[in-house]
Amino acid sequence: MNPLGLPFEMYDDFGRFRKDESIESPENVIGKINTFFNQYKTLPVDAKGSLQGTGNPSLDGNVRDALDLIDRLSKSDRVRQSIIRHAFRFYMGRNEMLSDSQTLINADKAYTSSGGSFKSVILSLLTSDSFIYRK
């Protein structure tokens, strides 16, 4: 597992929160749950990881778990702009071009001035010249 993926160990394969991880091997069976399933010894989940290479020293470093990682990423200008760019691509049905720079700037301003409302980003994109005059 990589240092960026380890914080998500706090969730199982189905995305459910967990504190313990079963050690599923024959020597660790401690009983039967029912006819089909064994009960195994467990270990506490270690969800520590690290964020590296963001280009922002205040973001890089060790993280406690996925929630800490998300909190740290939410403070990144690069992450915010990336999400806005992906929203642009989704709603416009194409990649951005140089002529779309003002639309992206306006969407970013809409997000920051609204206190982080994604609804404002969508409204900004759908009322932009890039959307209204699309081909």
Q: Give the whole-angstrom CA distance, residue 113 versus residue 107.
A: 10
Query: Strand locations in the chain, DSSP E?
Result: 20-22, 29-32, 38-40, 42-44, 49-51, 61-63
Q: Give 45's Cβ-side CA count (13 Å radius).
A: 19
Per-residue pLDDT of the chain (135 residues; tens, 9 = 90+): 588 889 999 999 899 999 998 888 888 889 888 888 889 998 999 999 998 888 888 889 999 999 999 999 888 899 999 999 999 999 999 999 999 999 999 999 999 999 999 999 999 999 999 998 887
**Cβ atoms < 10 Å from Cβ of 100:** 20
Task: Classify the phi-psi angles of 6: left when phi > 0, otherwise alpha if psi is within -120 to 50, otherwise beta.
Answer: alpha
